[in-house]
């Protein structure tokens, strides 16, 4: 896909992989909308920040109504918004469990269902879901987060089979540890330079988006070469 003048939506766009994806899409000439809970810092003539919690259906619908009323359809959706809580299963609160699923899983559903009709009608489009290697294998004290990312994996695997005949691509990305503030809720893991860099992960997302029309990158697993130095 040539990203020039394409309409792209990025959730969780104010930091980490989301922010880097926004910047690289803008560099490619896309018209980008960022959806963030607390506002965005990016300033660019082709960038619009919309405030919404992806786990809140009314807020998601309000944001996409603005986009779709102006453009009619969306070419690229990057479902990046997510969070993690760490601890033994019995120590994860019900509120934390629900917040994890609302953000990491339900939010992807809310956003995806708004862009699919336009993409299918146009016969083109690309949805990128940011999962995690925690969606490929389980880890101790990460059971709740793993559950959400396994759900993203299953959703993505089913979705690409639903929409491929309509010309719509779905790519699920499985990054290893990324140097962001994702680990702010972890007592044992702190960001360090041997983790993946957000800009590098974003570059691979853009590479997938720019793939030829009949080339479908379905799963993209990215790990640090030497995670512990």
At 186-221, the pLDDT tens digits run 455 555 566 799 999 999 999 999 999 999 999 999
Residue 168 has pLDDT above 50, yes or no: yes
Cα separation, 193 vs 48, whole angstroms? 31
Residue 225 has pLDDT above 70, yes or no: yes
User: Catalytic pick from 47, 110, 145, 160?
Assistant: 145
Question: In 3-state terms, the chain is what percent helix, strand and coil (to 5)?
Answer: 45, 15, 40
pLDDT on residue 190:
52
Ordered by start, the domain boundaries in the chain are 7-222
160 is catalytic: no
What are the C-alpha distances in Å from 129 to residues 91, 105, 126, 191? 28, 10, 10, 23
Give 104-155 pLDDT, tens digit per residue.
999 999 999 999 999 999 999 999 999 999 999 999 999 999 999 999 999 9
Residue 227 has pLDDT above 90, yes or no: no
> Residue 177 — very low, low, confident or very high, per pLDDT cuts 50/70/90?
confident
DSSP helix/strand/coil, 173 = strand
User: Where do the DSSP E strands lie in the chain?
Assistant: 7-11, 31-36, 47-51, 76-79, 125-130, 168-175, 219-222
Range 7-222 classified under CATH 3.40.50.720: yes
Instruction: Let me know if 97 is exposed, middle or buried by CB neighbors in 10 A (0-12, 13-18, 19+).
Output: middle
Give 25-35 pLDDT, tens digit per residue.
999 999 999 99
Instruction: For residue 40, give both structure tokens.
Output: 């965005």
Angle at 46 between CA 206 and CA 119, to 5 degrees: 55
Instruction: Let me know if 68 is exposed, middle or buried by CB neighbors in 10 A (0-12, 13-18, 19+).
Output: middle
Q: Which residues contact 100 (CB under 8 A, 6 or more apart)?
A: 83, 84, 85, 144, 145, 147, 148
Q: Which residues contact 157 (CB under 8 A, 6 or more apart)?
A: 172, 218
pLDDT on residue 187:
54
DSSP helix/strand/coil, 133 = helix
Residue 40 has pLDDT above 60, yes or no: yes
């Amino acid at each position: 896909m040539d990203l020039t003048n394409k309409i792209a939506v990025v959730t969780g766009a104010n930091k980490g992989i989301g922010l880097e994806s926004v910047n690289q899409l803008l560099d490619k000439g896309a018209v980008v909308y960022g959806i963030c809970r607390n506002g965005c810092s990016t300033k660019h003539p082709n960038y619009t920040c919309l405030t919404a919690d992806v786990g809140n259906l009314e807020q998601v619908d309000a944001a996409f109504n603005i986009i779709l009323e102006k453009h009619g359809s969306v070419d690229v959706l990057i479902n990046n918004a997510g969070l993690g809580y760490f601890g033994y299963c019995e120590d994860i609160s019900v509120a934390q469990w629900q917040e994890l699923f609302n953000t990491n899983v339900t939010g992807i559903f809310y956003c995806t269902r708004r862009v699919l009709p336009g993409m299918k009608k146009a016969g083109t489009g690309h949805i990128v879901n940011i999962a995690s290697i925690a969606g490929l294998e389980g880890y101790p004290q990460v059971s709740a987060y793993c559950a959400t990312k396994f759900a993203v994996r299953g959703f993505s695997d089913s979705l690409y089979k639903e929409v491929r005949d309509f010309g719509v691509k779905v790519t699920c990305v499985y990054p290893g540890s990324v140097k962001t503030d994702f680990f702010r809720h972890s007592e044992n893991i702190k960001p360090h330079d041997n983790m993946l860099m957000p800009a590098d992960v974003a570059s691979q997302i853009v590479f997938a988006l720019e793939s030829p029309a009949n080339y479908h990158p379905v799963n993209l697993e990215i790990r640090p070469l030497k995670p512990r130095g």
